[in-house]
């Protein structure tokens, strides 16, 4: 549950006329737990059920503004349309006798991601868990035709459930709803900017009206970058500097900023792809982004070992069954052989019995060669910048020496062309050629802000 700083919370609570009031005849307001641009959030108790809820109240000064009312209702409408356990649950929308509009939501106990990031970068395991659950929630929103457009750490709330962190995505107040049933009223002019500058996508920074779900992919990429490194990819002294950097500058690879454990190459490659300036160069959906963050579940070369390993297991199992038990007893599954017929000739010495504690030695296997392999990289057109596992290596044509069996992610980028990415295992000398597709850029839009 979000709490205000003690000094601010007490001062505001002492002068808040809603503390102690009953909204809609059912919800008794207990205390103020949060203040935002679109309203105040209170903890309230249902007078009949005795259950606590979070209630967001539209400020009186905004109640007479149609755009503020629509934005307030849009938050409730969007959240209620999405059936996903990682979206905050909206219980009701109502208006009290004083014509105060309010939203009733589930009460959350925990902290938002912004507060957790104040303590520094997160461990990789925590980052992957939070990113995956957030992506799951946003994919459900996108499937319902809803784009969040204001994803930021303050809107990612973390509770404890199932023995670990459990994400709840909040605040769909400036979401874009494509469902024609509700229309798509313009909450801001097409040349104004919505979203928070630290996490805004390049297309939103340019004031482009026709944004889609890939804008949320960019914002989640920024947040994952910050969870890994402790800082967002871009900072600036003012909004204009941030807007320019999001629209024009390439981020440093997260591994160059990380002060904790090493960032896996596939994680870094996924984050950098989510942060592409052109939406067409990003992942096609949140599921693809989260899958890339998790990386391959089975190493590519391990698949070829399946049949030999199975055969070896079968042989080992048969040998175990045939070995005698300790103490000289025979295994019950192996009947005793019939005694040999009597003979006057001396019998041959019996073959030595292999004890179970001394299995037959397996033949030694030769160590695989660890000599480096050479990969020739080409692009059409040539001159593309090559990044290997997030590290810049030069421009095509380019030869790279890699340790054998190294898993590599190679990215080709060239100004004016869509970036291309390839993954492979360096098991022998080989070559890789890509053909880059030319971009078709729309005319630039004037930048205006509405912060």
Which residue numbers are catalytic?
150
What's the CA gap between 284 and 287, in Å, rounded? 8
What's the CA gap between 207 and 195, in Å, rounded? 10
Q: What is the DSSP letter of 397?
A: S
The dihedral formed by the CA atoms of 161, 163, 164 and 165, expressed in degrees to the nearest 10: 10
Report CA-CA distances (Å) from 212 to 15, 70, 79.
42, 20, 18
Cβ distance 172 to 75 under 8 Å?
A: yes
Strand partners, 110: 159
Consecutive H or E run containing 401: strand 398-402
Q: Please name the residues in contact with 276: beta carbons below 8 A apart, sequence gap of 6 or more.
A: 218, 282, 419
Cβ distance 274 to 217 under 8 Å?
A: yes
What's the CA angle centered on 153, arms 150 and 159, to 5 degrees? Answer: 120
Q: Exposed, middle or buried: residue 68 (CB in 10 Å: 0-12, 13-18, 19+)?
A: buried
> Is residue 441 classed as helix, strand or coil in its secondary structure?
coil
Q: Residue 440: what are its φ and ψ, rounded to 5°?
A: -115, 110
Cβ distance 232 to 198 under 8 Å?
A: yes
Nearest by Cα to 71 from 156, 155, 177, 166? 177
Long-range residue pairs from 132-135, CB within 8 A, at least 24 positions apart, any chain: 132/290, 132/293, 132/294, 133/86, 133/165, 133/166, 133/167, 134/86, 134/167, 134/169, 134/220, 134/223, 135/220, 135/286, 135/287, 135/289, 135/290
What's the CA angle centered on 195, arms 193 and 201, to 5 degrees? Answer: 85
Tokens standing for residue 326: 């300790």
What's the CA gap between 155 and 41, in Å, rounded? 14
């Amino acid at each position: 549950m979000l709490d205000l700083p003690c000094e601010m919370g007490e001062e505001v609570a002492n002068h808040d006329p809603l503390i102690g009031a009953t909204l809609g005849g059912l919800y008794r307001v207990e205390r103020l737990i949060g203040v935002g641009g679109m309203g105040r959030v209170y903890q309230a108790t249902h007078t009949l059920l005795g259950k606590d809820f979070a209630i967001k109240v539209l400020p009186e000064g905004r109640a007479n503004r149609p755009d503020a009312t629509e934005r307030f209702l849009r938050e409730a409408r969007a959240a209620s349309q999405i059936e996903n356990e990682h979206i905050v649950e909206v219980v009701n929308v109502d208006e009290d006798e004083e014509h105060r509009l309010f939203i009733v939501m589930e009460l959350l106990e925990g902290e938002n991601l912004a507060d957790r990031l104040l303590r520094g970068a997160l461990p990789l395991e925590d980052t992957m868990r939070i990113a995956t659950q957030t992506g799951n929630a946003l994919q459900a929103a996108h499937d319902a035709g809803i784009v969040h457009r204001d994803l930021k750490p303050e809107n990612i709330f973390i509770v404890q459930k199932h023995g670990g962190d459990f994400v709840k995505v909040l605040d769909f107040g400036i979401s874009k709803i494509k469902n024609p049933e509700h229309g798509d009223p313009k909450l801001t002019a097409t040349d104004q900017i919505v979203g928070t500058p630290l996490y805004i996508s390049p297309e939103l920074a340019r004031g482009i009206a026709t944004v889609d779900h890939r804008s949320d992919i960019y914002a989640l990429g920024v947040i994952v970058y910050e969870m890994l490194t402790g800082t967002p990819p871009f900072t600036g002294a003012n909004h204009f500097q941030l807007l320019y950097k999001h629209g024009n500058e390439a981020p440093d690879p997260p591994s160059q900023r990380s002060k904790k454990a090493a960032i896996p190459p596939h994680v870094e490659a996924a984050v950098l792809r989510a942060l592409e300036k052109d939406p067409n160069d990003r992942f096609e959906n949140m599921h693809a982004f989260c899958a890339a963050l998790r990386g391959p579940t089975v190493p590519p070369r391990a698949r070829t070992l399946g049949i030999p390993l199975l055969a070896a297991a079968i042989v080992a199992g048969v040998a175990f069954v045939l070995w005698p038990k300790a103490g000289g007893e025979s295994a019950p599954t192996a009947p005793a052989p019939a005694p040999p017929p009597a003979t006057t000739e001396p019998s041959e010495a019996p073959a030595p019995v292999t004890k179970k504690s001394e299995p037959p030695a397996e033949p030694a296997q030769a160590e695989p060669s660890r000599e480096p392999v050479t990969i020739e990289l080409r692009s059409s057109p040539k001159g593309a910048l090559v990044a290997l596992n997030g590290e810049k290596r030069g421009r095509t044509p380019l030869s790279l020496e890699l340790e054998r069996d190294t898993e590599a992610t190679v990215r080709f980028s060239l100004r004016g062309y869509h970036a291309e990415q390839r993954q492979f295992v360096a098991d022998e000398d080989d070559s890789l050629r890509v053909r880059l597709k030319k971009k078709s850029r729309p005319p630039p839009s004037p930048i205006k802000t509405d912060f």
